[in-house]
Structure 1
Amino acid sequence: MDESTAEERILAGLDEEQRAVATTLSGPLCVLAGAGTGKTRAITHRIAYGVHTGVYNPNRLLAVTFTARAAAEMRTRLRDLGVGTVQARTFHAAALRQLQYFWPHAVGGQLPGLLDHKAQLIAAAASRLRLPTDRAAIRDLASEIEWAKVSMLTPETYLTHAHDRGEPGGLDTIAVGRLFQAYEDVKGDRNLIDFEDVLLITVGILAEDPRVAATVREQYRHFVVDEYQDVSPLQQRLLDLWLGGREELCVVGDASQTIYSFTGATPRHLLDFRTRYPESKVVKLVRDYRSTPQVVGLANTLLKSRRSSGLSADSLWSAPLDLVAQRPSGAAAEFLECSDDEAESAAVADRIKILIDHGTQASEIAVLFRTNGQSEAYERALAGVGVGYQLRGGERFFARKEVRDAILQMRAASRAAVEEPLGQLVRDILGNLGYQNEAPKSGGAVRERWESLAALVALADELVVARDTPEHAFNLVDFVAELQERATAQHAPTVQGVTLASLHSAKGLEWDAVFLVGLSEGLMPISFADTPETVDEERRLLYVGITRAREFLNFSWSTARTPGGRANRKPSRFLDGLRPGSVGGEPTGPRLAAAGKRRKTAAPSLCRVCGKVLTTGAERKIGRCNSCPAGYDEAVFQELRAWRLEEATAADVPAFVVFTDATLIAIAEAAPQDLAGLSNLPGVGPAKLERYGEAVLEIVASA
């Protein structure tokens, strides 16, 4: 393939704004990228285009992001674009590599050991000071010390900057400052450094040793920083030292997705980028390819509903990007109020079971909550209806015994020359460990083991499609190498099972259906969000949760914690304007028709026959008011209803779960000729299209 063809291939399929990012090869460049707008695609294609056009030397460009998973995904995409030698790393991984290389020359001796977890040393420091601590307190103190260090504070300067930090671990700021110093002393005594030290020491060496700084700047000429809204002051200082006054920098971010301020992240660097680089080019990515218009509309409304709350908070709140959905219309969001937490988890589990029974894969469903302690109720409820789940943040995929055994078996088999296609070969090898094509009927450990092995089989099939070329067939040796790299980066394949995750850990992920649970005051926003800035961050956190959904959203909350308890909980203030009937919200259904008449709407839906305003959801779905004559053959509608009844009876679900009357009327009036035409109708999502599409078209055609 010649270079011009490669360049055309790299730019093919990019929209106008993404192409602007990909073809702007000199910095400074700021990409403001909303959720689901293809930012990773844009920046990886920019890197690939720069390499193929000769502007970038692949060995002299560093792409930086914030999680090992994101870095691994970026490396995979770059490899698929033919520029696999470009480095994509986290800030910590890039700094650690430099520190390991330069330590003997700049400091001398052997690099101290790297501390994986702070808990043990913090406990030792607390013991030295005779401070009482428990496991929860130690966790909070570890987070506080990490915040202080990424904010470039010392134990001495911590006191002057921590006046509004509360009492981490139940200790006042003076005690925390003493503990901070004791922790540093214990580390020094044991010749250890922590992850924040990796950045701090690298910054110190680059700032103080001109030779080391010159070497690094000679090595890296161009920088790309993803998730720039999450940069801490320490990471920004390191980036400045890497650049050394140069401007070959591309940053990508969205201030509306800043949800890690408690770790020291700040959107300030993103918001002030134009001030720092007056000549910089800014490209906005607002075309949302992930979510339906219904999901995108709720996300936009949530951010637009925020009101001014003082100079300090307003300075950290930028005007949100107004996302424009690119997908066909989908299902309206559901809002569910329950009597107590147990009833809420049971109702959500039942709804998930219905989705799975009607074609949605379990791995494409997520339950997202504010705190990890909320997961247990949903684990029980899903187990009660026979639905598997995976807890994000639990045991890591590559640490599971069956996965480690599988990799060992495949590594051994890769030493023998086997002509069998990779997919079948992997199935044969994993068959020795209990894998079979059909999922076991039982749940528990047996099912979890099968899910792990099935994920490896699915990954093998996926990589054969992506990596097979006429010049080289993707084989078992390649697959084992890929697994080893993914294990190092903790880039796990998709496991079948509903995902249970906190809203924070869901960042960067997406699913077809998302259930946002526990949306009551005190949980969303969380009770300790007691300043305008922290409430704004809670709003952004819910925004991140909403934008994880591709097709379906369910919002739920309970009015009491326990069955029979006092119903004194209120729905989250963030639902005002989102849920039907709330202030600023769009009423749906006959029950709320009166509220709809009282409320002015920006763009009312009009009947296509008489031109009157449509007041109910059913009328808006079919595009005409109930009093106007139907524009369809009644016989077609009745045939569709009879077919729906058969489907609902066979599946033991209410008829509306298959299709509502309004959707059947829309189908009868539009008389679609093919699946594409059917998919454009409201109420016909991808799962229903796949499950019922051919049958519906056959009824329409025969009539």
Structure 2
Amino acid sequence: MKTANYKNQYIKLDTFARQGWQRLYDDGKRGLLSCHQCGSPVRLYLGITEEPYFRHHAANGTNCSDADIIEADTISDIQEEGFIEHNGFRIPKSRTVGIKESPLAYKGAQSLIASRQFTPPLSVTPDTVNKYIQKLSNSGISFDRNQEEAVISDSGPLLILAGAGSGKTRVLTARTAYMLEEKQVSPDSLMLVTFTAKAAAEMKNRLTRYPEMDQGRVSRIVAGTFHSIFYRILTFHNRGMWSGERLLKKDWMREQILKEGGRELGFDDKEFAYDLALQQIGLWKNSMILPGKVKSETPWEEKAALLYKHYEDSKSRQSLFDFDDMLLGCHRLFTENPKLLEQYQNRFGHFLIDEFQDINKVQYELIKMLSAKTNNVCAVGDDDQSIYAFRGSDPSYLLQFREEFKGTKVVILDQNYRSPHEIVETANIIIKDNTARHKKEMKAGFQLGYSPVVFYPYDEEEEATMIVTDIQERIEKGASPGDFAILFRTNTGGRAIFERLASSSIPFRLDQDSESFYERFMVKGMLAYFRLSLDEDDTEALKNIMPSLFLKPSVYRDVQAESILKDCSILAALSQVKTGFAFQEQKLKKLAAVVKKLADMSPSAAIECVEKDLGFQDFIKKRGSEGNKMDKGSDDIRDLKVAARNFATLSDFLDHADHMKKMNSEIKKLSKAFQEAVTLSTIHRSKGLEYQTVYVIGAVEGSLPHDFALDSQRNGDPAPLEEERRLLYVAVTRAKERLFLSVPLNRRGRKANVSRFLSKLKKATV
């Protein structure tokens, strides 16, 4: 039914303001909605494939029908969102007499129609019958024609373009086994490089199941990540210099060195983004750009370059090293010792490298050096899945492989064994607009009849509700929580879905590195003003507002002393502190009155007040022009505004924020304990994984593709936009059965436009 009793008045869903539907949903769970016929509680249904409606809760056991029989003239035009916030008061919006403003229309979900009909793959008899391939086949390890060609290709450079779900791990392990058994290559002369230690262990484990591949033989293969392999070489030749005790293992250890340099250069610990500088330094090092060769493009990069020099000098003085130094150190070792390089060139005759599209400059140069004599490099990768440019990865090495390694044989694995035809076709259409790629088109081995679905929630909150509702329904029908993954572009994009899952009974897991949204720098700073308004002696809140007031850390001690001497609150003492700058002292004098006023405001109004009256917007602009182009502080505050709309008081909002921080910590602890749980992840983290059902959220301009990529394209650089398209391709191809793409009509409080990556997909009403 479309009508219900709400706040002692009848409402009709079709004329109720769309932005208020989430409030109706929440109030329905609180028992504030009732049936217009029987008076029993009802709830608003917000799902993906069905239109919203009011329904009786199953637990109530009512026999009342859901028919709408109420007279139209008894329905009120109440609009829950028909008020505006002004100085903490709710004031009705003015209305035009005689003209009724139509609400934002609900847009139903749409199916994505495959442009081509499914053609079952032909059963192809191999051109050649290889004895070892036959032996593997008898053991239950079979291959299609292209896979077999990749496994048994002769020595020399080989490029295996392995599309999503094409069985590249099977091919890589089978080729390794083939070389050892059929070609009698010594395990000691074979280097198998992966991008994670887990992948290396999995490949070795698989190899032991192959005919004639015993544990002793497999263990002699030099296998592992670039870092692990080349670190072993360094420690073998100079254990003292490269002792593990000298390794800067943790980010905080490296960040500590940067902060020491920052203090020498006059940078503020609270203001400068040292974590981002650390990331930038890693990018320079992986690109083999030494401190004296950095060409800064922004004032922030100039500061980061100064820190880079200090960082390297400090490590050198203390004989310390980081993970990036393992590769650079090995490159330097070979460059300075040609005879040593020749020894390794003679030892390693074959190189098999997984995920070649993610290789960076120093890794590429090391492989070129070692393989210079034999050219026996087997590179396995997919340029359509290159998504780590921020770490220095460069797909051009894969694209230019044939030019660098003369006589390269290319084998394309274009059969997708993971996803059905409907999803594979969607992925093909998305990725084909990229220009910097090998031309290939994946084919599916089966179809299921489930078309991918695009749905249109009002905003992030409604998006989260729809997805959780859909998952609950599927679990009730027999699905397991582990069948589902919810993927987003950046960590902040998962805020609403995390909160909705946290309030549900569905088990879910997070990345261990995922911080709570409410712990983010800008968010914590904004909430600190709220905390100080409710407790004028909150010293932790004082510390967190100081960066936005451009106060040095030493001021904190002055404020404490002033508070004790004058027997006043921390907030009052802050207003009296002397900084030596008249304009800053004048601003601080006004601070206490404004902060006290926040306590009586709604969270939404309080955010606006801090932004405008306390200069937080100026702080955001300054911070935003320094450092991370991908995660802007202004975006965090816009997300906070969306979250704030759900709360009437600051205390309720702060309680919610604190609860979510604790939940984040608890979920990360419990993640390993859950046998079956919904996966909540960034797209980057999902690469290489697969799930029965995948939800991709925020498929709108500014999110996917990200604002950074759009800005780069406007400035003449199309590369970031192409990587964003590859990101969506990776997300789509994680799905084994069902795929849902969310296109919210509003994002961060503003109207959103559907992602350009979806423009060529044919849609039909579900």
Partner of 2:232: 97
1:38 aligns with 2:167: yes
SS at match of 1:552: strand
How many angstroms does 1:25 deviate by? Answer: 4.2
Q: CA deviation at 1:276?
A: 2.0
Match among 258, 279, 285 for residue 149 of structure 1: 285
Bigger Cα displacement from structure 2, 318-327 vs 536-545: 318-327
CA distance in 1, matches of 2:457, 2:703: 15
- C-alpha separation between the residues in 2 aligned to 1:172 and 1:448? 33
- The aligned residue for residue 237 of structure 1 is 365
Aligned position for 1:657:
none
Q: Residues 282 and 517 from structure 1, CA distance in 2 versus in 1: closer, same or farther, beyond 3 angstroms?
A: same
Q: For residue 680 of structure 2, what is the aligned residue in structure 1?
A: 500
Structure 2 residue 446 is matched with structure 1 residue 327: yes
Conserved? CA contact 2:286–2:324, under 8 Å: yes
Partner amino acid, structure 2, of 1:577: K
CA shift for structure 1 position 12 = 4.0
Match status 1:554 vs 2:761: no
Q: Matches of residues 5-404 of structure 1 in structure 2 within 5 Å?
A: 6=135, 9=138, 12-81=141-210, 82=213, 84-85=218-219, 86-104=221-239, 113-116=246-249, 117=251, 118-134=254-270, 137-159=273-295, 162-163=296-297, 167=298, 171-306=299-434, 314=435, 317-394=436-513
Does the C-alpha gap of structure 1 residues 127 and 330 become closer, same or farther in structure 2, counting only changes over 3 Å? farther
* DSSP-derived class of the 2:705 partner: coil
CA distance in 2 between counterparts of 1:518 and 1:359 reads 28
Match of 2:18 in 1: none
Secondary structure (helix, strand or coil) at the match of 1:30 reads strand
1:524 aligns with 2:524: no
1:174 deviates by 2.6
Question: Which amino acid is 1:540 matched to?
Answer: R
Deviation at 1:555, TM superposition (A): 0.5
User: Could you tell me how far 1:363 is from its partner in structure 2?
Assistant: 1.3
Contact 1:217 1:242 in 2 (8 A): yes
Contact 2:166–2:413 (8 Å) recurs in 1: yes
Q: Deviations over 1:641-682 (max 9, x none)?
A: xxxxxxxxxxxxxxxxxxxxxxxxxxxxxxxxxxxxxxxxxx
Provide the residue aligned with 1:571 in structure 2: 754
1:115 is aligned with what amino acid? L
Number of residue pairs matched by the alignment: 474
Question: Relative to 1, partners in 2 of residues 1:109 and 1:249: Cα closer, same or farther, differing over 3 Å?
Answer: closer
- 1:271-321 residue CA offsets vs partner (Å, 9 max, x unmatched): 111112231111000000000111101100001245xxxxxxx5xx12442
Deviation (angstroms), 1:109: 8.8
The answer to whether the 8 Å contact 1:71/1:89 transfers is yes
Gap change, CA 1:540 and 1:445, over 3 Å in 2: closer
Q: Which moved more, 1:347-356 or 1:292-301?
A: 347-356
Q: What amino acid maps onto 2:760 in structure 1?
A: G
> CA 1:101–1:10 in structure 2 vs 1: closer, same or farther (change >3 Å)?
farther
Q: Secondary structure at the match of 2:156?
A: coil
Give distance in 2, aligned partners of 1:204 and 1:535: 35
Alpha-carbon distance, 1:40 to partner: 0.9
1:545 aligns with 2:731: yes
Whether the 8 Å CA contact 2:399–2:438 is kept in 1: the answer is: no
Letter in 1 for 2:690: E
* Alpha-carbon distance in 2 for matches of 1:293, 1:267: 27
CA distance in 1, matches of 2:245, 2:332: 16
Contact 2:697–2:743 (CA under 8 A) maintained in structure 1: yes
Q: Distance in 1 between matches of 2:512 and 2:235?
A: 29
**Shift of residue 183, structure 1, vs aligned partner:** 1.0
2:690 to 510, 534, 537: 510
Runs of 5+ unmatched residues, structure 2: 1-130, 516-662, 713-717
Deviation at 1:156, TM superposition (A): 1.2
2:588 paired with 1:588: no
**Rounded Cα–Cα distance in structure 2 between residues aligned with 1:138 and 1:301:** 40
Q: Take 1:87 and 1:231, find their aligned partners in 2: how far apart are those partners?
A: 19
Equivalent in the alignment of 2:88? none
Residues in 2 aligned to 1:215 and 1:298: alpha-carbon distance in whole angstroms: 49
| Letter in structure 1 aligned against 2:164 | A
Deviation, structure 1 residue 4:
9.0
Greater relative contact order structure (CA < 8 Å, 6+ sep):
2
Note if contact 1:62-1:223 (Cα within 8 Å) is conserved in structure 2: yes
Task: Within 5 Å, give how 1:389-538 maps onto structure 2.
Answer: 389-394=508-513, 452=672, 495-529=675-709, 530-531=711-712, 532-538=718-724
CA distance in structure 2 between the aligned counterparts of 1:135 and 1:75, rounded to whole angstroms: 47
Note if contact 1:103-1:111 (Cα within 8 Å) is conserved in structure 2.
Answer: no
- 2:464 maps to a residue whose letter is S
Q: 1:656: which partner in 2?
A: none
- Choose 176-185 or 119-128, whichever is displaced more: 119-128
When residues 198 and 345 of structure 1 are mapped into structure 2, their CA distance, relative to the original with a 3 A threshold, is: same
Q: Is the 8 A contact 1:295 1:546 kept in 2?
A: yes
Cα drift, residue 149 of structure 1: 0.6
Structure 1 395/97 Cα, relative in aligned 2: closer, same or farther at 3 Å?
farther
The Cα shift of 1:123 comes to 1.8
Query: Cα gap change, 1:192/1:378 in structure 2, threshold over 3 Å: closer, same or farther?
Result: same
Distance 2:223 2:309 in 1: 34
2:491 maps to a residue whose letter is N
Q: 2:320 is aligned with what amino acid?
A: L
Amino acid at match of 1:538: E
Q: Which amino acid aligns with 1:298?
A: T
How many angstroms apart in 2 are the aligned matches of 1:261 and 1:156? 22
Q: What displacement does 1:329 show?
A: 2.8
Instruction: State the SS of the aligned residue for 1:381.
Output: helix
RMSD over aligned CA atoms reads: 2.7
CA distance in 1, matches of 2:195, 2:242: 30
Deviations 1:498-530 (A, max 9, x none): 001101111111111100001121111111112
Q: Hey, what's the Cα distance between the residues in 1 that align with 2:704 and 2:347? A: 46
Amino acid across the alignment from 1:50: M
Q: Supply the AA of the counterpart residue of 2:218.
A: G
What's the offset of the Cα at 1:134? 4.1
TM-superposed deviation, 1:358: 2.0
* Superposed displacement of residue 6, structure 1: 4.6
> Closer, same or farther in 2 for the Cα pair 1:251/1:571, shift >3 Å?
same
Q: Which moved more, 1:35-44 or 1:21-30?
A: 21-30
Cα distance change on mapping 1:353 and 1:206 into 2, 3 Å: same
Whole-angstrom CA distance in 2 between matches of 1:525 and 1:444 = 27
Measure the CA separation in 2 of the matches of 1:120 and 1:445. 24
SS in 1 for 2:684: coil
CA separation of 1:143/1:320 partners in 2, compared to 1, >3 Å: closer, same or farther?
A: farther
Q: Residue type matched to 1:68 in 2?
A: A
> Which one-letter code corresponds to 2:741 in the other structure?
F
Separation in 2 of the partners of 1:186 and 1:332?
57
| 1:369 and 1:375 in contact (8 A); partners too | yes
Preserved contact between residue 288 and residue 325 of structure 1 (Cα < 8 Å): yes
C-alpha change, 1:246 and 1:550, in structure 2 (3 Å) is same
1:557: how far off?
Answer: 2.6
